[in-house]
Structure 1
Amino acid sequence: MTHNSETTLAGITARIRAIGRKLDAETLAESQRLYAPLHASEPASGVLVENDHPYGPDERHRLDVFRPDRPGARRPALLFVHGGGFVGGDKRRPGSPFNQHVGIWAARQGLVGVNMTYRLAPAHPWPAGPQDVGAAIRWIRNHANDLDVDPARVFVFGQSAGAAHVAAYIGHRQFHGAGGHGLAGGLLLSGVYDLVANDPRTVAVGYYGDDPARFAERSALPGIADAGVPLWVGVAELDPSRFERQALLLAGALLDSRRHLPRFVQLAGHNHLSGLLHLGLPGDVLGPEILRFLMECEPPSD
C-alpha cells in the first residue's frame, strides 16, 4: 500500500468536501482517482480469491469469492451489490482496486466476501435487478458447504443502484422463492426505495420504465418494511439531497412498521461514492459500522 499517510487522507477529505454534493461521471471518476493509490495493488495477502463463478445463464451472472486463507468454523457471507446507475458498474475492473476491495476487506474481517455483477439496463429493465440478487443469494446458500459459509448468516450489502436492487429483492416476496428471502440482514447505502416520492426527473426510466403509474408497484416500499429482514440504512453527508430523503423515508417506514428505527448511519465528510472507496483505510467509518450490524444480527448462543 502506498501514499496512505494521514496528510494524504486529510488532503483527500478536503478535496471531497470541496467537490460537495455534485454527482456526475466526472465526480465519480475523480473520487476513484483520489483513493486508488491508497489501496494495495499487489495480490491480497491472507485472502483466497476465486473469480467468475457463474450463478446464472447471462454473461454478467458472475460472482467473485474472497475467503480467509486460514481454516475456521463456518463464516458469515457478505454479498456486495455494486452501483452504476442501473446501466454500468462491475464487481471488478482491470487496473482498479474497486470494487474488489470490498471482498478483500470482508475476508480480512473473517467473513466470506462475495462480489456480484448483474444484468444492466436498458437491455435488462425491471425486475432484472432483484431477480439477479435473489439468484446470487441462492447460489451462496446452495454452495455453503464448499465456501465454509453458515447458510443462516448470509448478508447482502448494496450501494446506490445496488442498494435499490437489494431493497427491491427484500421488499418483493415474489423474488424470494420457496425458501424465503434467505438473509440474516441487509445493508443499504445511498439507494432509492420509493419511486413515487422521488423527483420524476431523477427516476432511471431506462430501468424502471417511463410510466409513472408503475412506479408504486416497482418501489421497495412498503414491502421492505414488512419483510422482517434486519436492516442497516446508510447515507453519505454529501449525497445529493434526494438520497437523504430516500434514507429517511425508509427509516420512517421501518419505524412505523417495526416500532423502532433501524441502524442508521451517516458517513460524515463523504460523497455518494467516497465512503465506499474509503473502506478498509485508516479512519474508515463504514467498515466498523458494517461489522457492528453483523454482530447485532448474530443468533443468540446456546
Structure 2
Amino acid sequence: MGRSLGPQAVAQCRALLAGEQEPVANTLAPAASDCAYGSDPRHRLDLYWQGAGGQGARPVVLFVHGGGFVLGDKGGAGEHWPNAHIGRWAARSGWLGAVMNYRLAPGHVWPAGSEDVALAVAWLRANVAAYGGDPERIVLLGTSAGSVHIAGYLRLCPDHAAQVRAAAMLSGIYGFTPLADRDELYYGSQEFYADRMPREAVVETDLPLFLACARFDPQRFQTEWVELMQARLERHGTLPWAHYANWHNHYTLAMHIGTRDTALAGALLSFFAEHT
C-alpha cells in the first residue's frame, strides 16, 4: 500500500483488518450510546465496558478519531467497526472505553476540535462514575487529526494535568512542518498557522506522553514525530514513551489495535497502567 492517503487506501486497510475486527464489533455493543457531552449534534460519545461490576471503578480511555479535520465518526457495529474498535479494545482490556465524535471543518474551524476534547473530558469527569469509570483516572488516545486535537487541548487547558493522567498521540501534526493546503479548512491561511499550532504546548507539558508513528506514514508525519521527540529530549532531558511501527501505515497504525499484532497495544496498556 505504501504511504498513500485517501479513500482507496482507507478501504484497503479496512479490508485487510476486517476479518479480525468485525467479529468483535458484532459481539460487544456499546454499554451507553450517543451520550451528549455538549450542545452540538456532533457532541456525542459511546461508552464500552465488559464484565460484571463490583471490581472497583475502571480507568477510562477516551479515543479521538482522525479524518483530516473534515470527516470521521465514532463508529459502530459490523462494517462500521473503525474507531469503535478502540472502545472495544479498551473494554476487553479491563478499562472503560469512550469514543467521541467532534465538530468538523469547514463548518467548524480552529480550535473547535480541541474545545470538544475539553468538553468530553469535562463530561467524563462529571458522569463516568455512574457507568463504572474512575473520573480521576482518564487517559487520552488520538490518531492523526485526533492527536492534533489532543495536543490543542493541552494548549487550551493549562490545568490539563489535573483533568487527565496521560495522553498518547499517533501520527499527529504539531507545528514542526509547513501547513498543508487541506489543513487550511481547519486552521485558516498560512498567516495564522504558527500561532494556532500546539507545538509549544506539547513540547512543554509535564503530562506523560506516548508518541507513535509508522514506517509507512507520509514523510510529513514522520518529520513531526522525530522533531517532537528531539524537542522533548532537549526540554525535559529524556525521551517520552514512544513506538515506531515498522509494519504499518498512517491508517493501520490505529486500525490494527485489538488484533493479534499486540506490539503497539501492549505498549499503550503498559504506558496507561504506569500513569493510572
Same fold per TM (> 0.5)?
yes
1:201 matched residue in structure 2: 180
Distance 1:112 1:91 in 2: 15
Q: 1:123 aligns with which of 81, 97, 107?
A: 107
Which position in structure 1 is the counterpart of 2:229? 251
Equivalent residues in 2 for 1:211-250 (5 A)?
212-250=190-228
Task: Output the TM-score relative to the length of structure 2.
Answer: 0.93
Alpha-carbon distance in 2 for matches of 1:36, 1:108: 18
In structure 1, the partner of 2:83 is 99
Letter of the aligned partner of 1:136 in structure 2?
A
Contact 2:172 2:221 in 1 (8 A): yes
Does residue 1:57 correspond to 2:52, yes or no? no
SS of 2:135's equivalent in the other structure is strand
Q: Which has the higher helix share?
A: 2
1: distance between equivalents of 2:148 and 2:200?
13
Change (3 A) 1:46 1:120: closer
TM-score, L = length of structure 1:
0.85
Work out whether 1:282 is the aligned partner of 2:260.
Answer: yes
Of structures 1 and 2, the larger Rg is shown by 1
Query: Of 64, 67, 70, which aligns to 1:87?
Result: 70
Q: Count matched residues.
A: 274
Counterpart Cα distance in 1 of 2:208 and 2:179:
29
Unaligned runs of at least 5 residues, structure 2: none
Give runs of ≥4 in structure 1 deviating > 6 Å: none
Give the 5 Å matches for 1:158-169: 158-169=142-153
Q: How far did 1:153 drift?
A: 1.2
Structure 1 contact 171–225 (Cα < 8 Å) conserved: no
Q: Deviations over 1:259-296 (max 9, x none)?
A: 11101101111010112221111123221011011122
Q: What is the root-mean-square deviation in Å for CA atoms of aligned residues?
A: 1.9
Give the 3-state SS of the residue equivalent to 2:244 in structure 1: strand
- Alpha-carbon separation, structure 1, partners of 2:180 and 2:253: 26
The whole-number CA distance in structure 2 between the counterparts of 1:132 and 1:81 is 10
> Which residue of structure 2 lines up, in the alignment, with residue 30 of structure 1?
12
Mark the runs of 5 or more structure 1 residues left unpaired by the alignment: 1-18
Identity percentage of aligned residues: 34
1:291 aligns with 2:269: yes
Specify the alignment match of 1:271 in structure 2.
249
Query: Which stretch has the larger CA shift, 244-253 or 113-122?
Result: 244-253
**Which shows bigger deviation, 106-115 or 27-36?**
27-36
| Separation in structure 2 between the aligned mates of residue 43 and residue 265 of structure 1, nearest angstrom | 26
Deviations 1:214-247 (A, max 9, x none): 2122111112222221100000111001101111
- Counterpart selection for 2:164 from 159, 183, 187: 183
Deviation at 1:171, TM superposition (A): 2.5
What one-letter code is carried by the residue in structure 1 that aligns with 2:167? Answer: G
The Cα shift of 1:48 comes to 5.4
Alignment match, 1:74 = 57
Structure 1 residues 43, 253: closer, same or farther in 2, change over 3 A? closer
Residue type of the alignment partner of 2:253: G
User: CA offsets per residue over residues 16-51 of structure 1, 9 Å max, x none?
Assistant: xxx111122211121112211222346665775211
Name the stretch that deviates more: 217-226 or 79-88: 217-226
